[in-house]
Structure 1
Amino acid sequence: MGHHSNWPEWVYVGVVIALMCWVGAEAWNAERLVEHIPADAEVIKVTGQQWFWTFEHEDGTKEIGELHVKVGKAYKFEIMSKDVNHSFNIHDYVVLMDAVPGRVNTVWFAPMEVGEHDIQCREYCGLIHYNMRGKLIIEDDSS
């Protein structure tokens, strides 16, 4: 008989096709992150190091542990690490990207409402890893 259930063969084929589509969609989403960065996105250099995040804006302004951005604007993060692997995560915006020494990884987002969000390191990076937090502060464009 071969099959241990009474399901017709097309059910199995359907499940396999659905899984293949899902995996394909995931890969496409990852591509999309890089492919479709808005042309007017402001670049912010994000550097992870034990045990804090540094942010450098296009105009040279630097922030440590806090990142101020404007609502309704697109931002492109160029993420790197000075020491070990870190992982830059703004959970509320589903922004997650590895910070790896010697490499620049890119991800973008556009905050849509004013507020504060946690920035975390999602990669165990050493003793004080759990303290490697930051604040994303989204401000009104008029300020």
Structure 2
Amino acid sequence: MVSMGSHVIYEWIYVGAVVSLLIWVGAEAWYGEKLLHEVPKDHITIKVTGQQWFWTFEHPDGTREVGTLHLKAGKVYKFEITGKDVIHAFNIPHFAVMIDAVPGRVNTIWVKIPEDAVGEYLIQCREYCGLLHYNMRANLIVEA
């Protein structure tokens, strides 16, 4: 006859395995989050402002572009995004970039433009921001 106490060791092994797995998944998630927030040192900062119904881009030298953004292939860019009037969402679908543009707040995201990405890409608003939301687009031109 098997006593009730003989299963306790298996239960503790199971609990230990589950706790170890959770610790491992948590550590991996923390490390991944850390990598996302650590912008490489050689980055170029672009200030992005969303307003009804267009995007404004400011380069480090102070030059501004409206509706078009010129970037260089192979460079790392940090975008500092804000909204001027309502909430927008800055989105470059081809490079999997999307973050909210909120009035009174600066959100940041960074991306490395691949060397072979020379061409023209879509920038759009992905948060409904009013009557002309469908037309809130810009062109990203990646140059060699």
Q: Same fold (TM over 0.5)?
A: yes
**Overall identity of the aligned pairs, in %:** 58
The question of 1:94 aligning with 2:96 is answered yes
**Residue in 2 that maps onto 1:127:** 131
Q: Name the CA distance, whole Å, in 1 between partners of 2:80 and 2:86.
A: 16
Letter in 1 for 2:75: K
Question: Cα distance 1:128–1:31, how it changes in 2: closer, same or farther (>3 A)?
Answer: farther
| Structure label with greater radius of gyration | 2
The question of 1:77 aligning with 2:89 is answered no
Per residue, is there more helix in 1 or in 2? 2
Question: Cα distance 1:107–1:71, how it changes in 2: closer, same or farther (>3 A)?
Answer: same
Letter in 1 for 2:129: C
Letter in 1 for 2:61: D
Question: Cα distance 1:33–1:125, how it changes in 2: closer, same or farther (>3 A)?
Answer: same
Q: Name the CA distance, whole Å, in 1 between partners of 2:48 and 2:70.
A: 13
Q: Name the CA distance, whole Å, in 2 between partners of 1:28 and 1:69.
A: 29
Q: After the TM superposition, which residues 2-21 of structure 1 pair with which residues of structure 2 at under 5 Å, given as runs?
A: 21=25
Letter in 2 for 1:123: E
* Alignment gaps of 5+ in structure 1: 1-9
Question: Cα distance 1:48–1:40, how it changes in 2: closer, same or farther (>3 A)?
Answer: same
Q: Name the CA distance, whole Å, in 2 between partners of 1:119 and 1:128.
A: 15
Residue 21 (structure 1) shift = 3.8
CA RMSD of superposed structures (Å) = 2.1
Q: How many residues align?
A: 123
Q: Name the CA distance, whole Å, in 2 between partners of 1:125 and 1:28.
A: 34
TM-score, with length taken from structure 1: 0.78
Q: Which runs of 4+ in 1 moved over 6 A?
A: none
* Alignment gaps of 5+ in structure 2: 1-13
- CA deviation string 1:57-88 (max 9, x = no partner): 00011000110000001110000010000000
TM-score, with length taken from structure 2: 0.77
Question: Cα distance 1:50–1:28, how it changes in 2: closer, same or farther (>3 A)?
Answer: farther
